[in-house]
Amino acid sequence: RSTETTAVDDRDPLFARIPRRDFMKAGAAAGAMSSLAGCTGLLDSDDMPAAADVDASVPPGELDDYYAFLSGGHSGDIRVYGVPSMRQIMRIPVFNVESARGYGFDDETHDMLQDAGGYTWGDTHHPRVSQTDNEYDGEWLFVNDKANGRMARVDLEYFETDAIIDLPNQQGTHGACALMPDTRLIFGVGELRVPIPNDGRDLEDPSEYGSTLSAMSADPFDHEWDVRVDCNLDNGDSGKNGEWFFTTSYNSEEGVTEAEMTAADTDYVVAFNIPRIEAAVDAGEYETINGVPVVDGTEDSPLNTGSEPLVRYIDVPTNPHGVSVTPDGQYAIASGKLDPTCTIIEIDQLTEVDDPNDAIVGRVNVGNGPLHTAYDGRGHAYTTLFVDSEVVKWDIDAAVEAEMGSADPVIQKHEVHYSPGHLIAAESYTGDPQGDWLIVLNKLSKDRFLPVGPVFPENDQLFYIGDDDAGMELVKDTPAYPEPHDASIVRADRLDPASVYDPDDLTLDFISTDDEDNFIERDGDRVHVEMHSQRNYFSFEDIAVQEGDAVTIRTTNIEQTEDMLHSVAIPEYDINVKIAPQETREVTFTADKPGVYWIYCAFFCSALHLEMRSRLLVEPA
């Protein structure tokens, strides 16, 4: 393996580590993407650099080619990595409170978390970036909360969570994905069957439980409607032309115990006909539950009869897990989990056939415990094998042509360390995967890192997959704090993050250095402070209040220099409000403890950072 980096001067900086080729993807990076749309399936790996020529080290001072957004699992956040370096660049708190980013501390983010249920944690699994015309547009990231039945939106201009929807008819939002090609709707997929509404009725009657697919608009981020089904729903992915949304179901039995949920030989891929469902909503064919229109998509629903059923139930081997749609939109591929096969469903057939099982056009034997499948845009699928601790590369067309259950389409198996869940290839969820990098999210790391006690990190393994002759090549191990489930890998030039705030994007007015902007005002027992900060002061040396006052402190960081952050930290009042350049935030608290409290800045901002402070004086009542 060459560790040398090729000279970068005459190359597109985005592909600094990939030698130039007469390379359609490089042309795409230069803006020719639209004219190439649809032909990328014709690429073979001769257009990609050989494995031996690729260097994933990314030397100091150089930038990565891709962003990877990994879910944090029950940490409740999103992690931002650079690929191929696998350096963790940032974390975005979503359902968790995070002091270093002031998230959950200032009034706006605190109220957002309170309005979304007031929980202190969530369980993020599926971070999906918005797309336009089946390409990432870099605007939004959406992610689920499997713990509390919620969906969140992250603004990728500021890399911060700006909206959370609590889904009242759903417990355990697992799958999450936008409707392609244009992110017109966002779907949260309800995993845990519960009574709907879950208000104490039918506790002991699981046959009355159900789950929902919930649809939200992207911007504004609003809950639009639900579809109710009897079975559970698990992972989800969208077709590419706005018609079908797919989820797996492992509990078609409507069971409660593990034995009941694994009793049947088959479960479902559930295919939702989105235009039909929307027509039903428009026609008023729904019941309003918890303020949300809920359409009946159960198997016995009157809406599921006739030539265009709302929801189609496709039988697949018992307890499937992942489902993902091929980049060309032709197939939905479901992974068997308890069955060693992946089932290939031809999407266009779903509107042709009477029996939805007739849309199954292939079944490939990949190995033990298949969970998730990713794509390289060259006609290959890559499936994780949880039980075998392997990734298997196989040929999609060959699998459609082969006999059902054949292992012949398998091209290569590569061991991973250990027990992989998701895997994700660069831009695999779009119509045009890049075909160079693949990250495998391993649940166990065992012996791969220095021991750190009984809680082990996970292991995110980077593979180079651009060289079909050399095959998949393991490039590096990366320890991960528990626990990423899925990721989206997005070409860096598709994002355009802000480096300072635009005050017009914020709800609070900017507080300048003008005297009239800066004041301490009392109204009864309410004290309102407006101040600004910059290196190395806050507007007021002292803020004097009475014990019991309700105090609001609004602060603008007037710095125009990027990367020059301050915060408003108040010891023993549990407050740390981050203020980035040109940002205005406020915090409200009750001054219930008399004494002297040094308001300080928690970001090390200058040589006089420690001196950057003011006194909060709370006079006893």
Restricted to residues 107-126, the positions that interact with ligand CUK (CB under 6 A) are 125-126
Shortest distance (Å) from residue 374 CB to ligand CUA: 43
Give the number of other Cβ atoms within 10 Å of residue 346's Cβ: 17
Shortest distance (Å) from residue 174 CB to ligand CUK: 6
Shortest distance (Å) from residue 110 CB to ligand CUA: 22
When asked if residue 601 is in the footprint of ligand CUA (CB under 6 A), the reply is yes
- What are the C-alpha distances in Å from 556 to residues 145, 503, 600, 608, 615? 32, 10, 14, 19, 18
**8-state DSSP, 563:** T
Shortest distance (Å) from residue 528 CB to ligand CUA: 23
68-76, 259-267, 381-389, 520-528 -> range binding Ca ion (CB under 5 A): 259-267
Shortest distance (Å) from residue 443 CB to ligand CUK: 8
Contacts of 105 (CB under 8 A, 6+ apart): 97, 99, 575, 576, 577, 578, 587
Q: Is 360 helix (H, G, I), strand (E, B) or coil?
A: strand
Distance CA 8, CA 307 (A): 58
- Bridge-based pairing state of the strands 526-534 and 550-557: parallel
When asked if residue 337 is in the footprint of ligand CUK (CB under 6 A), the reply is no
Quick one: 185 or 579, whose CB is closer to ligand CUA?
579
Residue 49 token pair: 């650099």
* Phi, psi (deg, nearest 5) at residue 174: -100, -80
Which of Ca ion, ligand CUA, ligand CUK, none does residue 319 bind (CB under 5 to 8 Å by kind)? Answer: Ca ion
Shortest distance (Å) from residue 15 CB to Ca ion: 45
When asked if residue 128 is in the footprint of ligand CUK (CB under 6 A), the reply is no
Distance CA 34, CA 424 (A): 24
When asked if residue 609 is in the footprint of ligand CUA (CB under 6 A), the reply is yes
| Secondary structure element (H or E) that encloses residue 536, with its range | none
Which of ligand CUK, Ca ion, ligand CUA, none does residue 609 bind (CB under 5 to 8 Å by kind)? Answer: ligand CUA
When asked if residue 249 is in the footprint of Ca ion (CB under 5 A), the reply is no
Shortest distance (Å) from residue 516 CB to ligand CUK: 53
When asked if residue 280 is in the footprint of ligand CUA (CB under 6 A), the reply is no
| Cis peptide preceding 168, ω within 30 of 0 | no
When asked if residue 240 is in the footprint of ligand CUK (CB under 6 A), the reply is no
- Bridge-based pairing state of the strands 542-546 and 613-619: parallel
When asked if residue 603 is in the footprint of ligand CUA (CB under 6 A), the reply is yes
Quick one: 136 or 250, whose CB is closer to Ca ion?
250
Quick one: 425 or 612, whose CB is closer to ligand CUK?
425
Restricted to residues 562-591, the positions that interact with ligand CUA (CB under 6 A) are 566
Strand spans (E) along 218-276: 223-229, 236-238, 244-249, 266-273
- Bridge-based pairing state of the strands 185-192 and 211-217: antiparallel
Binding mask 560-599 for Ca ion (x = CB under 5 A): ----------------------------------------
Q: Is 302 helix (H, G, I), strand (E, B) or coil?
A: helix
| Secondary structure element (H or E) that encloses residue 238, with its range | strand 236-238
**Site residues for ligand CUA per CB under 6 A:** 566, 601, 603-605, 609, 612
Q: Which residues bind ligand CUK (CB under 6 A)?
A: 125-126, 174, 235, 321-322, 371-372, 421-422, 485-486
Give residues in contact with Ca ion (CB under 5 A): 250, 267, 319
